[in-house]
Amino acid sequence: MTTLIPAWVDGELCAVDKLDVHLRGLLHKAVSVFVLCGDDVLIQQRALEKYHTPGLWANTCCTHPHWEETPPDCAHRRLDEELGIKGLTLEHRDHVTYRADVGGGLTEHEAVDIFVARVPDRVTLRPNLAEVMATDWLSLTDLSARVRAAPEHFTPWLQIYLADHAARIFGKV
């Protein structure tokens, strides 16, 4: 099954096959979400079946919007599809662009809308095992320390968010 996502081809936004986008390194729309509980952030370990960066730890969830899907709608859909989380209030925190090699001849070149949801208590999770093999709650300090100590265990985009955009995502760090 072909998944079409919004990507720029010759300066025009078009619906392009997701795998083709990553093979060609095209700039494309994306969404990333961070769920926070107090000082802790929910992270996920990507399933081994994922076609890139399998087994690596990432932010709460991230994805590509469907053609003509709004970023907030996409973020809500993916929280539910990946982790079984519904009904969170999302706050748009930033719009960033990055480019990263994700292995296997694939490139993420994303224009990302980043959202944060604050929850008073840790939410009940129902991970989709085809997407997520594990989850964890870590303080931002512990997460940053782990990424510095073993960056090979974390997705390139999570490393970029922490290194270059943490203050805009999490507030004062």
Per-residue pLDDT reduced to its tens digit, 97-151 = 999 999 999 999 999 999 999 999 999 999 999 999 999 999 999 999 999 999 9
Mean pLDDT of 17-31: 95
State residue 127's pLDDT score.
97
Give this prediction's pTM: 0.95
pLDDT higher than 80, residue 169: yes
Give me the catalytic one of 74, 82, 108, 110.
110
- Strand bridging mode 57-58 / 40-46: antiparallel
Q: Is 37 a catalytic residue?
A: no
**For the segment 60-109, what is each residue's pLDDT rounded down to a tens digit?**
999 999 988 999 999 999 999 999 999 999 999 999 999 999 999 999 99
Cβ contacts of 92 within 8 Å, gap of 6 or more: 71, 72, 113, 114, 115
Pick the CATH number of 4-170 from 3.40.50.300, 3.90.25.10, 3.40.50.410, 3.90.79.10: 3.90.79.10
Q: Is 12 a catalytic residue?
A: no
Give me the catalytic one of 61, 62, 74, 108.
62
